[in-house]
Amino acid sequence: MLVLGIESSCDETGVALYDTRHGLLAHALHSQIDMHAAYGGVVPELASRDHISRALPLTQQVLAQADKTLQDIQGIAYTQGPGLAGALLVGTSIAQSLAFALNVPSVGVHHLEGHLLAPLLEENPPAFPFVALLVSGGHSQLMRVDGIGQYELLGDTLDDAAGEAFDKTAKLMKLGYPGGPALSRLAELGKPRFQLPRPMLTSPDLNFSFSGLKTAVLTLVNNQPQLDAETVQDIAWEFQESVTEILTLKCMKALKQTKLKRLVVSGGVGANKRLRERLNEAALKRGASVSYPRLEFCTDNGAMIAFAGAMRLHAMQQNTPDYSFSVRPRWDLAELKAPA
């Protein structure tokens, strides 16, 4: 089955073609970072309008790259949620319109399921079951994954997500938008000098909390007589050490509690070099393995939606295609069911 995937949940338009026999054939992505940078964050109306102008040209681009035509498509997957309602509506309406015109089945994909399954696109995909760390700007969750649609929530953030804490901390230090990647680059130049807390590091559960860490950074910044380049680098180093230590310890605790030996890391923060170093080292000591998507698939992309959709479409038996649609800006991953 050749499946077209469309991702439009926030500020990136992603389109991809996935073949259940030959794998990923082509993918393309347009980021709106430059457009939103002037506002210091995503402007939903601008995001929606940009998706409208990008989705079809990107679709034509991936078809040309794969040497395919619209008539070759056998199924369409789209991000149904969670995300910005207007942005989701753009991708959903385009996907369902194409599916109706081509008379092919379609399926709405949970954005986080796409992230969670992204490492399965690699040459040596992890086998089920495994523990998954979903760590991004909007989510910090630990899940037990037993198969497609078989997800058990082990731990969640009680306030800010890890990526959100990175971005807010970067904003405190005037690093621009998006600040998370800039903060990580500065952290590589920093050294041990300050001490920040490790919220919930020793709590008996697998939950996270990062809002207090962000507040501690604000206090630290305000107490500096001069916020020079060296000081910013050292604060960034300590902040990154705090976040990666918390994430690593909780992941190892999740492996211990579930008695599993495989960890999968997905989401934008999963691209962080220091986090990967710590997880690899800790997993090696436990005799466990860690799998990541390639760096370009850590952030939002169409490939993960095409793949997740292909897995569901391949397993589903739809006698009567339904081209009506709705979006789900809020959608709990644990609500998903395995495909019938």
**How many beta carbons lie within 10 A of that of residue 195, not counting itself?**
11
Residue 315 has pLDDT above 90, yes or no: no
The pLDDT score that the predictor gives to residue 257 is 97
The pLDDT score that the predictor gives to residue 195 is 96
Helices then strands, each counted (H, E), the chain: 10, 10
The pLDDT score that the predictor gives to residue 135 is 96
- Using an 8 Å Cβ cutoff, are 290 and 260 in contact? no
On the CB side of 238, CA atoms within 13 Å amount to: 18
How many Å apart are CA 70 and CA 60, to the nearest integer? 9
Percent of the chain surpassing pLDDT 70 = 99
Q: Say how far residue 216 (Cα) sits from the centre of its chain.
A: 26
Q: Directed axis angle between helix 85-102 and helix 44-65, to 10°? A: 30
How many Å apart are CA 156 and CA 148, to the nearest integer? 20
How many Å apart are CA 82 and CA 255, to the nearest integer? 27
What residue type is 118 in one-letter code? A
* pLDDT tens profile 236-262: 999 999 999 999 999 999 999 999 999
How many Å apart are CA 96 and CA 227, to the nearest integer? 52
Q: Say how far residue 51 (Cα) sits from the centre of its chain.
A: 18
Residue 334, C-beta contacts closer than 8 angstroms, at least 6 positions apart: 151, 152, 153
**What's the pLDDT band for 266 if we cut at 50, 70, 90?**
very high
In angstroms, what CA-CA distances link 54 with 6, 48, 148, 186?
11, 10, 30, 33
Residue 319 has pLDDT above 60, yes or no: no
> How confident is the model over 304-314, as a mean pLDDT?
95
Helices (H), 26-84: 33-37, 44-65
What residue type is 326 in one-letter code? S
The pLDDT score that the predictor gives to residue 334 is 84
> How confident is the model over 314-329, as a mean pLDDT?
80
- What is residue 175's three-state secondary structure? coil
**What's the pLDDT band for 185 if we cut at 50, 70, 90?**
very high
How many Å apart are CA 277 and CA 270, to the nearest integer? 11
**How many beta carbons lie within 10 A of that of residue 153, not counting itself?**
13
Residue 138 has pLDDT above 90, yes or no: no
> How confident is the model over 19-40, as a mean pLDDT?
95
Residue 96 has pLDDT above 60, yes or no: yes
**What's the pLDDT band for 322 if we cut at 50, 70, 90?**
confident
> How confident is the model over 31-39, as a mean pLDDT?
94
